[in-house]
């Protein structure tokens, strides 16, 4: 079974631009979560989608948004990029979210200049 | 707000030795996860602990959960160099539907020959 895939793997943007990251979950998984990892803040939860609905949201500004499609693929968007948005963005998928193993993708490394 | 604390944050140990990583969390939960991260890589799921007293073992690693003490441990037996990595524990808040993991800071483990 193929794992979680994320595209692109690396991205360089400048301040003020926007970016869209994509995540394809493991086949059959309906829950997709997004996390931001930085050296200073560690791993922080962004949001979780289940059956195209946002089920949980972390404490990030409204510049961070996401969506999930009917095939469970998910995208997250960051508008008006700031230097502090430079991070590894990880997507995780699971069968139903709670109490099930979350399988993480390889991540998208975003650098904002 | 759920807080998750790991200790130690840095651990240098010799091959063949035993050690324990501790994960304390601040609010009621019965969903605890352990992950491993190699440098520059994503998170690999190690254990999912879903009830008080749960104990799981895989190779040289054993994880346990005490929900009353709000404590999980990851015990390393007879460490080998291949175990060198950063280990994270993560907790789901019990009131949350779906998934919203709060991660500890991570324990950077180095196993020396």
Q: To the nearest whole number, what is the mean pLDDT of chain B?
A: 93
User: How many contacts (CB atoms, under 8 Å) link A and B?
Assistant: 67
Asked if the model's pLDDT at residue B68 lies above 80, the reply is yes
DSSP helix/strand/coil, B77:
coil
Contacts of A62 (CB under 8 A, 6+ apart): none
What single string gives the DSSP state of each residue in A59-97? S--TTEEEEE-TTS-EEEEE-S--GGG-EEEEEEEESSS
Contacts of A49 (CB under 8 A, 6+ apart): A31, A32, A33, A55, A66, A67, A68, A74
The pLDDT value given to residue B92: 86
Mean predicted confidence (pLDDT) in A65-81 = 97
Give the residue from chain A lying closest to B91, CA to CA: A99
Asked if the model's pLDDT at residue B7 lies above 90, the reply is yes
pLDDT bucket at B36, cuts 50 / 70 / 90: very high
pLDDT bucket at A34, cuts 50 / 70 / 90: very high
Strand A5-7 relative to strand A53-57, pairing: unpaired
Which of A5, A104, A106, A109 best tests the B interface by mutation, with the highest count of B CBs <10 A?
Answer: A104
Mean predicted confidence (pLDDT) in A58-71 = 96
A105–B contact, CB cutoff 8 A: yes
Distance (Å) of CA B56 to CA A67, A75, B47: 35, 34, 7
The pLDDT value given to residue A101: 87
- Of B35, B44, B99, nearest to A94 by CB-CB distance is B99
Mean predicted confidence (pLDDT) in A84-95 = 96
pLDDT bucket at A49, cuts 50 / 70 / 90: very high
Asked if the model's pLDDT at residue A1 lies above 70, the reply is no
The pLDDT value given to residue B95: 65
A102–B contact, CB cutoff 8 A: yes
A60–B contact, CB cutoff 8 A: no
DSSP helix/strand/coil, B99:
coil
């Amino acid at each position: 079974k193929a794992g979680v895939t994320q595209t692109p793997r690396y991205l360089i943007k400048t301040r003020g631009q926007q970016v869209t990251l994509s995540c394809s979950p493991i086949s059959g998984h309906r829950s997709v979560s997004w996390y931001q990892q930085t050296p200073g803040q560690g791993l922080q939860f962004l949001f979780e989608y289940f059956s195209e609905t946002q089920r949980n949201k972390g404490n990030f500004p409204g510049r961070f948004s996401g969506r999930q499609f009917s095939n469970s693929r998910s995208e997250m968007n960051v508008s008006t990029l700031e230097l502090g948005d430079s991070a590894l963005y990880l997507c995780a998928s699971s069968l139903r979210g709670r109490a099930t193993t979350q399988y993480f993708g390889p991540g998208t490394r975003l650098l904002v200049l | 707000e759920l807080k998750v604390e790991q200790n130690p944050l840095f651990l240098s140990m010799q091959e063949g030795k035993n050690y324990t990583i501790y994960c304390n969390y601040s609010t009621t939960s019965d969903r605890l996860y352990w992950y491993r991260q190699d440098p520059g890589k994503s998170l690999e799921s190690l254990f999912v602990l879903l009830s008080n007293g749960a104990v799981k073992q895989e190779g040289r690693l054993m994880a346990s959960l005490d929900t009353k003490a709000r404590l999980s441990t990851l015990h390393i037996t007879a460490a080998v160099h291949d175990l060198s990595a950063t280990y994270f524990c993560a907790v789901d808040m019990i009131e949350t539907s779906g998934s919203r993991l709060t991660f500890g800071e991570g324990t950077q483990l180095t196993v020396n020959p």
